[in-house]
Every structure is written in C-alpha cells, then in structure tokens.
C-alpha cells in the first residue's frame, strides 16, 4: 500500500499562523518585563507597590509615644473645674435621660433615698471608683477627687437636696496630710464605737485570707488598695456591697467571690479588726 501524502488545507494553515503569532507576542511581552525587572535591580530602583508599603508602615507603627518635657514645679495647680461644667460634659448624658439605669438628676425622691441609705461619702466614692454601669470618674480619668466630690454635691442640689459642703475626697494630698497628722500625735486606741458591733479578735483570724492581697497590716499591694485607717462602718459597708454582687470599683470582680460566703457576724468582726490597723 503506497504512502499517502499528508496535506494541510488553507484553514489549518491560517490557524497555525495565528497560534504562532500569539505565542510570539506572549514571549515578547514576558521578555520585555524580564529585561525591565533586571534593569531596575541593577539600578536599585525597584520599589514595592505603594499599597504594600503603606500596609507595612501601619503594622510597624508604634502603639504609643513618650514625650519628655520640663515640669514647672513652682507653677500653681490648675483650678478645679466648676461642678456645673463637669456635670454637663460628663454626667448629663446619663443622668439627664436615665440612660443605663442612671437616676435622673430631677428625681429628688430617688436621690434622697440613696443619700439616706448610703451616705454622701459612699455616693462620692461611687462617682470616683465607678458603680454598676457607670465608669470610674464618669469615663474622664483627668477629673480629680475634689471635682467629683463637688459634682456629686451639685447634683444633689439640683435634685433639691441641700448638703453641708462636699464629702472628703480620698486624694493623695488628703492621705498625706492625715499621715503627717498621725505621725505627730501618739497612737490612739481603736474607737470603741466603731468596733462595738464586732469582735476584733475573731476578725483577725478571718483576715488571714485578706492579708494575701491587702498585706498583713492592710497597707495594700500592687492593684490591691490600702485599707488600714478605714473606719469599721466603711469596711462593713463595702463588704456588704460586694456580698450583694454590686460593682463598686475596679476590683469588684475579685472581691465579690471573696465576700459571697461571709455572714453578717463575719463582716462585723472583719470590719472591727481592720479598723484597728
């Protein structure tokens, strides 16, 4: 059988020509980019895409910055902000509307009940340390204890309740003044009225658990505050609030489980002992 001659018709020829031209175009395109790439490497001019550089800069940006400036120790301290201004800028958003369960400043009956039940000092401490949904210092950490105290008195006045002066603020200056006075006077025996409700000896044995955080003398350690020098009434009130699952400060979540199992007698005994520190 004779070999047959292989023939390519005109259509197949055209298709092959087109395919070869397309392949040639791709090769030329790749070759030109390859030449450009090596040329930039040689000149040191090849930069990553701007979007990539921007993302890298954002990831490497520092999260904070320390600035050093001279402090004028002779400069007079800034004057306290007026209580009305503090209320308008920090408190009004909740206490004008009742948002997040906050008592309205116009609700004199509710404020009178709180003042009678908790006292002015506790209301001020709530404003400083935070209470339930209310953040510490109303969410403005630059406010001083004095400004918070004056603002509480202002709110009570707006509610129609007159109080005599601001509650003492637990400021560092006040603590220092108290310590200086205490150092110049002989140590006094514990106030019998403040410890009459409990047994300090029984409270001392219960305090062993407290000492692991607040220190054996109640001086505080780390994030745990100093409790020595506090009255028995104050300590008992705080323990009762923790036992009732109330949020009265930044360490409430640590204290609530500790106070959950305390009886009334335990609280009175602990308060009586801590008042002697």
Rounded distance, CA 26 to CA 235, Å?
84
Question: Please, is 255 exposed, middle or buried when counting C-beta atoms within 10 Å of its C-beta (0-12, 13-18, 19+)?
Answer: buried
Rounded distance, CA 277 to CA 269, Å?
13
With H, G, I as helix, E, B as strand and everything else as coil, classify residue 149.
Answer: helix
DSSP string, 87-117: IIIIIHHHHTTTGGGPPPTT-HHHHHHHHHH
**212-247 pLDDT, tens digit each:** 788 888 888 777 788 888 888 989 998 999 899 888
- What is the rounded average pLDDT of the residues 178-202? 54
User: pTM for the whole thing?
Assistant: 0.38
**120-166 pLDDT, tens digit each:** 888 888 888 888 778 888 778 888 888 888 888 888 888 888 776 54
Quick check: 272 and 195 in contact, CB under 8 A?
A: yes
Domain 83-158 maps to which CATH number in 3.40.50.1360, 1.10.10.10, 3.40.1020.10, 1.10.760.10? 1.10.760.10
**192-274: CATH topology:** Cytochrome Bc1 Complex; Chain D, domain 2 (1.10.760)
Domain borders along the chain are: 83-158, 192-274
Question: For the chain, what is the mean pLDDT?
Answer: 76
Calculate the CA 134 to chain-centre distance: 12
Closest CA to 90 of 25, 9, 150: 150
Query: Which of the four pLDDT bands, split at 50, 70 and 90, describes residue 48?
Result: low
Query: Which of the four pLDDT bands, split at 50, 70 and 90, describes residue 268?
Result: very high
């Amino acid at each position: 059988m004779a070999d047959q001659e292989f023939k390519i018709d005109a259509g197949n020829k055209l298709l092959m020509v087109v395919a070869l031209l397309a392949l040639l175009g791709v090769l030329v395109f790749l070759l030109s980019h390859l030449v450009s790439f090596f040329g930039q490497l040689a000149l040191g001019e090849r930069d990553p895409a701007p979007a990539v550089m921007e993302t890298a800069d954002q990831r490497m940006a520092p999260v904070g910055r320390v600035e050093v400036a001279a402090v004028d120790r002779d400069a007079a301290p800034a004057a306290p902000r007026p209580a009305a201004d503090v209320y308008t800028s920090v408190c009004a958003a909740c206490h004008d509307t009742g948002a997040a369960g906050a008592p309205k400043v116009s609700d004199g009956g509710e404020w009178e009940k709180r003042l009678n039940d908790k006292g002015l000092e506790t209301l001020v401490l709530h404003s400083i340390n935070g209470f339930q949904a209310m953040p510490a210092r109303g969410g403005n950490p630059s406010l001083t204890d004095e400004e918070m105290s004056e603002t509480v008195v202002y709110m009570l006045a707006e509610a129609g309740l007159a109080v005599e002066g601001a509650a003492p603020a637990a400021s560092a200056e006040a603590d220092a003044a108290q310590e200086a006075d205490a150092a110049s006077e002989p140590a006094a025996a514990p106030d019998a009225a403040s410890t009459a409700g409990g047994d300090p000896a029984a409270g001392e044995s219960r305090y062993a658990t407290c000492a692991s955080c607040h220190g054996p003398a109640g001086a505080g350690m780390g994030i745990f505050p100093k409790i020595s020098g506090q009255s028995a009434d104050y300590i008992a009130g705080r323990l009762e609030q923790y036992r009732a699952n109330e949020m009265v400060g930044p360490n409430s979540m640590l204290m609530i489980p500790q106070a959950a199992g305390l009886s009334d007698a335990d609280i009175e005994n602990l308060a009586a002992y801590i008042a002697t520190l």
